[in-house]
Structure 1
Amino acid sequence: MHKKIALRKRDYPLWWLLQGLSHLPFGILYLLADFVYVLLFYVFKYRKKVVYHNLNNSFPDKDAAEIQRIAKQFYHNLADIIFEILKLGSISTADLRRRAHFQNPEILQAYLDKGLSVLTLGSHACNWEWGLASSPGFLNFPADGVYKPLQNNFFEQYMRFLRSRLGPNPLPMKEVLRHLVRHRQESRLVALLSDQIPPRGEIQYWTSFLNQDTGFYVGADKLAATFKYPVVFIKVVRRGRGYYLFSFELLAEPGAVTTAEEYKVTEAYARHLEISIRENPADYLWSHRRWKHKRPASDNGAASK
C-alpha cells in the first residue's frame, strides 16, 4: 500500500482540489475533458508541432486529412486520460476491474504460480496508468511499476499516491536492480514502459520503428538475462470511453535470454508495439518528443537494426 504523504502546508489546497476532482462521477469528468480538449487543441495548441511532426514521419502513406483526424482524436484521448488518471485517487478496485479488463491473465498467472517473476513491457498507449493499478484485481501477487521520478516534489508524491493506492509498488528506475535482488526469491510482476526516450548518451540500441531510426532502453534484455525472467508484451485496446482491454503476448520464455547484448527482447518489443500502434494510431502518446535524438553517423549498425 502507499506510504503516508508528507505535504507542505502550501500544497494542501492543490491536493484537496485534485482529490475533489477525483471523486466526481465519470460523466462530469468527461465533460471537463471535452473542455480541456478544446484548450489543448485549439487554444494552447499543446505541442501541436511535435504531434504533427511525429504523425507525418510515422505514417508517410496517410494524407493530411487522415493525419488531422488522428491528431484530433489523440487530443481527445489525452484529455480523457488526464482525468482518468486523477480518478485513481478514489476509484475502487471493483470499478477499475470493470473498466480495465485483463483478457488473458492466465499467461502471467501460470508463471507466477510456478514461483517465477514476470517482466511485462508496456507502452504509452491508451491509459498506461490503469494497467498496473488494476493488476491486484486480477493477480494475487506483488506488482512493481518502474518509473522515472518527477522533479516537482508535489507531483512526484501525488503520482506515487495514485500509483500505489490500490496496491502496486512504484519503483524508481535507479532502485530497480537492488530491489529485484532483494526480492529475487519472490514471485512478482515487474512492469516497464519500454518506449520511453533514453538520454542521448545511454542509447545502446537503435532500430527502425514507425519508419524512423529509434533509440530504445535495453533494460528489459538486461533484466531478462540476469534474472531469467519470462518477458510479456502488454497490448491495450480502447473499448470505449473509460474502458480498456489489456492482453498479453509472450516475447521470451524463462531463461531464453542468455546474452543481453543481442537485444532480442527489445527488438521483439519494438515490432509488437509497432503493429499495435498501426492498428489504433490515435491511442498512442504522440506529444512526446520520441525522436528528438538522431542516430549517430558513426553507428555502423553492429548492435542495431
Structure 2
Amino acid sequence: MPNSLPKPYPWYYRPLNWLLRGLAHLPLPVLYVLADGIYLLLAYVVRYRQQVVLVNLRNSFHDKSEAEIQRITKGFYRHFAEVMVETLKLAVMPAAELKKRVWFSNPEVMERHFAQGRTVLGLSSHSSNWEWVLTSGAVWLSAHADGVYKPLSNPFFESFMHQLRTRTGAGLIPMRDTLRDMLQRRGETRVVSLLSDQAAGPEDRPYWTEFMHQDSGFYTSADRLADRFHCPVVYVSIRRLRRGYYQIILTELYDGDAPLPANEFPITEAFVRQLEQDIHAFPTDYLWTHRRWKHKREAR
C-alpha cells in the first residue's frame, strides 16, 4: 500500500480538528444550510479570487454575455461551497452511503481490464465533486484505487485531508513518487487516479494545446506512464445530478496495447477534448478559482 502516515501536526490544531469533525457529524441537509452561508461569504463578502474567476470565465466563453458570465460566477460559488461541506462529510460518511450518492454508470469499462490483471490510469479533473471520485471508486470498483496527489504544506490540513481521502480504503501516492510507485508495483491490478488539469510549468515540459480558447500546458504523465507500463487509460467524468448525488461516466481513451507515437501526446489531447465537453455542459461545476492559465508557452 502506498499510504505513508503524514507527519504529526502541532497540538494547537486539535481544537480545529474537533470542530471540523463535530461539523462533519451534522446531517447533510444541515451542512447545506452552512454551505449557503459560505456561498454568501465567498461571493459577496470575501469575494474569494473573484477576479481570477471572472478572467477565466471571460477568456473561456467568448460567446457569452457579461450577464451570463455573472450568472455562471454565482453558480460556481454556490457549487464550490457545497463541495466544501460534502468533502468535510467524508470524515464520517459510511462507505455504503457514499456508494448510494455516487453512481458509476459503466464500471465495466475498467472492470474488463481488472479481469486481465492490469493497472488502469484514470484521468479526472477539478470538476463537480472531485474529492468524491477516488473515495467512491474505492467502494465501487473490484480493484484497489490509488490517487496521485500533491501533499499540502500545512501539517494539520495534510493529515486531515489524508484521512478523508483514505478512509474508504483508497491509497495516496505523492506526485513526486509516482514513477517509483509504478515501478515497484508494476503489473498490480488497480486504478491509479490522476487529476490531470493542473497547470504544468515550463520545468514540467508540458504538452501545449488550445483549451477553452486559451493556449494551455498540460502534464504528459498519462502518455508517458501508459506507454512505459502498457496501462489502459480511462477518462473519468463526474456529473452532479442534484445536491449530494453524482454520476460517474467512464470513457476509454487508450486500450494499453496499441503503439503510441513518439513525442506526441494523443492521450492528453483526448483528455483535454473530453474535459472541454464537460465544462461546456456544466460550466458552474469547474474549479474556476484555479489559476489554470498562469504559465505561458516559452518562445522558441
Same fold (TM over 0.5): yes
Cα distance in 1 for partners of 2:10, 2:162 equals 16
Q: Secondary structure at the match of 2:135?
A: helix
- Structure 2 counterpart of 1:126: 128
Aligned AA (2:128): C
Asked if 1:182 corresponds to 2:184, the answer is: yes
Q: Secondary structure at the match of 1:261?
A: coil
Cα distance in 1 for partners of 2:208, 2:9 equals 41
- Structure 1 counterpart of 2:265: 263
Q: Secondary structure at the match of 2:263?
A: helix
- Structure 1 counterpart of 2:101: 99
Aligned 8 A contact 2:9 2:155 in 1: no
- Structure 2 counterpart of 1:254: 256
- Structure 1 counterpart of 2:75: 73
Q: Secondary structure at the match of 1:223?
A: helix
* Post-superposition CA distance 1:165-196 (Å, at most 9, x none): 11000110111111111111310010000001
Same amino acid, percent of matched pairs: 48
TM-score, normalization by structure 1: 0.95
> Runs in 1 of length 4+ with deviation above 4 angstroms?
1-5
CA deviation after TM superposition for structure 1 residue 101, in Å? 0.9
CA deviation after TM superposition for structure 1 residue 75, in Å? 0.2
CA deviation after TM superposition for structure 1 residue 7, in Å? 3.9
Matches within 5 A, 1:262-281: 262-281=264-283
Aligned 8 A contact 1:228 1:257 in 2: no
- CA-based RMSD of the aligned residues comes to 1.4
* Post-superposition CA distance 1:128-163 (Å, at most 9, x none): 010110112211211110011111111111111110
Aligned AA (1:278): H
CA deviation after TM superposition for structure 1 residue 259, in Å? 4.3
- Structure 2 counterpart of 1:34: 36
Cα distance in 2 for partners of 1:260, 1:242 equals 43
* Post-superposition CA distance 1:250-298 (Å, at most 9, x none): 1001122534621111111001111111111111000111111122232
Aligned 8 A contact 2:52 2:288 in 1: yes
- Structure 1 counterpart of 2:298: 296
Matches within 5 A, 1:1-305: 6-259=8-261, 261-298=263-300
Aligned AA (1:271): R
Cα distance in 2 for partners of 1:167, 1:37 equals 31
Aligned AA (2:137): S
Aligned 8 A contact 1:232 1:248 in 2: yes
Q: How many residues align?
A: 298
Cα distance in 1 for partners of 2:262, 2:149 equals 21
Q: Which runs of 5+ in 2 are unaligned?
A: none
Cα distance in 1 for partners of 2:99, 2:219 equals 30
TM-score, normalization by structure 2: 0.96
Q: Secondary structure at the match of 1:52?
A: helix
Cα distance in 2 for partners of 1:31, 1:89 equals 18
Cα distance in 2 for partners of 1:264, 1:118 equals 17
After the TM superposition, which of the residue ranges 171-180 and 1-10 deviates more from structure 2? Answer: 1-10
